[in-house]
Structure 1
Amino acid sequence: MALMATLLSVMTAQVVMRYGFNSSLLWSEELCRYLLIWSAFLAMIFAYERGEIAALSILANSLPRVPALLLAILGGALSVALCAALAWYGYLYAKLAGSQPIPAFSFILEDLFGADAPEAPHVFWVYFALPLGMTLLGFRIVVDIVACVRALIDGRSLQDLDAHEGGLGL
């Protein structure tokens, strides 16, 4: 929420500067792009918890208790594997391509400090949104897998988990 509020504030400032003062902020577009990237990858976890990520639940809902739970566990395991792969390769890419300083921050720091400006943060921190978001999502899916395994042992169904555990994203 704070990221989106910051994004809205920066874009509002850019519109006011451009149309009100016939000037523009050099760094606003780039900062908004980075804030949107971080917002998207961090919001995936909340979308998953609310069941807003696309899932094929028709099959799981039509199966008996044990096959439905086994299918949810299998789907969760595949999702965790995908999250792990995206986190790993996202980190490798961030490490590979992220050594450049962020251009917008370079402009700001040079304007503020002149020739002896500190080094701007690197693009690595922008690209790091993918591995962090995927890692957090993977951990959240593992929580649901554990809940499904416990339901399998306790004799509960997938629908019981949806009602009592606050909903599953699986």
Structure 2
Amino acid sequence: MQAQSIAGPSDLPRWFRWFGIYTRTIEGVAGVSMAVILVIMIVQVAARYLFSGSIIWAEEACRYLLLWQTFLLLGVAYQRGEFVMLDLLPYMLSSRARLVLKYATAIPVLIFLAVIVLKGFDYASRFERQKIPALDFIWSSLTGANAGVSVKWVYICVPIGAALLALHVIADLVVSTIRHRRGIDDPPPVVDMGEQL
């Protein structure tokens, strides 16, 4: 399935422009979370090798941040066409057949993502009573009280990421349909073999 860039002022209706703002926001959140992970891990390594100590919550906090970052960025990766795909067959077809193929491959993907969203929220709710030890430790160190943040907020990143990915797939179908109706054909991707080596 070939994703297209969801941008271009001449291609899209005005109501669709918010997608660029959303994408930049998600990328900004990902950048900040990666910076936080980097700082935490640098401090953890320095504490361990220079001071023979350890930050006991560092690995857990970085793991949770990385999980959220991964699932939030699934849709952006799809939008940029960074998923593994086979482009040979679609570009051997006519524009109309390519659009039909895109719909035929998107529908099972959307059904799968809908199942992930529904089951993911159900699964996450099962961990309502289990607390996140890292946040409890940090919060109790700072305030003396337990934070009481549920592990549910870690697991819920999966259905949220699946829902965002589904929105990207739907947006890609809308963009492809609009471009097809306007007679705008996507050029085949150009692969630079120098980059592959």
- The answer, yes or no, to whether TM exceeds 0.5 is yes
Give, in whole Å, the separation in 2 of the partners of 1:124 and 1:56. Answer: 36
Give, in whole Å, the separation in 2 of the partners of 1:107 and 1:33. Answer: 16
1:6 alignment partner, one of 36, 47, 57: 36
1:131 alignment partner, one of 159, 163, 175: 159
Residue correspondences, number:
159
Q: Deviations over 1:50-90 (max 9, x none)?
A: 11111222211111121111001222222222222111111
User: Amino acid of the residue matched to residue 132 of structure 1?
Assistant: I
The structure with the greater share of residues assigned to helix is 1
Displacement after TM superposition at 1:23 (Å): 0.8
2:169 alignment partner, one of 109, 128, 141: 141
Are 1:90 and 1:128, in contact at CA under 8 Å, matched by a contact in 2?
yes
- Root-mean-square deviation (CA, aligned residues, Å) is 1.9
Q: Deviations over 1:113-132 (max 9, x none)?
A: 33xx1433111111111111
Q: Identify unmatched segments of 5+ residues in structure 2.
A: 1-30, 190-197
User: Amino acid of the residue matched to residue 38 of structure 1?
Assistant: W
Displacement after TM superposition at 1:110 (Å): 2.7
Residue in 1 that maps onto 2:54: 24
Residue in 2 that maps onto 1:63: 93
Q: Identify unmatched segments of 5+ residues in structure 1.
A: 163-170
Give, in whole Å, the separation in 1 of the partners of 2:128 and 2:33. Answer: 21
Counterparts of 1:1-170 in structure 2 under 5 Å?
A: 1-114=31-144, 117-157=145-185, 159=186
Q: Measured at CA, do residues 33 and 13 of structure 1 come closer, stay the same or move farther in structure 2, by a change above 3 Å? A: same
Identity, % of aligned pairs? 35
TM-score by length of 2: 0.74
Give, in whole Å, the separation in 2 of the partners of 1:120 and 1:13. Answer: 25
